[in-house]
Amino acid sequence: MKCAGIDIGSRTIELVVIEAGNIVECRQIDTGYDPISQTRKLLNGISHDRIIATGYGRGLFEIAFDSATVTEIKAHARGARAFFPNAQTVLDIGGQDSKVIALDKNGKVKKFEMNDRCAAGTGKFLEIMARALGFHIEEFGNESLKAEKCLTINSMCTVFAESEVTSLITKGEDRLEIAKGLHASVVRRVIGMLKRISVSGEIVFSGGVAKNKCMRELLAEALQQEILVPEDPQMVGAFGAALLAGE
pLDDT band at 117 (very low <50, low <70, confident <90, very high): low
Query: Order of strands across the sheet with 202-206?
Result: 109-115, 98-103, 87-93, 202-206, 227-228
Q: pLDDT tens-digit profile of 22-39?
A: 999 999 999 999 999 999
Distance of CA 62 to the CA centre of its chain: 22
pLDDT band at 78 (very low <50, low <70, confident <90, very high): very high
Angle at which helices 158-170 and 175-196 pack, to 10 degrees? Answer: 150
Confidence at residue 50, expressed as pLDDT on a 0 to 100 scale: 96
Q: pLDDT tens-digit profile of 121-138?
A: 788 899 999 999 999 999
Q: Are strands 87-93 and 202-206 parallel, antiparallel or unpaired?
A: parallel
In angstroms, rounded to a whole number, what is the distance separating the alpha carbons of residues 139 and 144?
8
Over range 189-206, report the average pLDDT: 89
Over range 151-174, report the average pLDDT: 88
Over range 86-90, report the average pLDDT: 95
Over range 10-17, report the average pLDDT: 95
CB 10 within 8 A of CB 98: no
Domains of the chain (ranges plus CATH)? 1-84+231-247 (3.30.420.40), 88-229 (3.30.420.40)
CB 33 within 8 A of CB 39: no
* CA nearest to 236, candidates 83, 29, 59, 46: 83
Percent pLDDT > 90 in the chain is 80
In angstroms, rounded to a whole number, what is the distance separating the alpha carbons of residues 79 and 81?
5
CB 138 within 8 A of CB 174: no
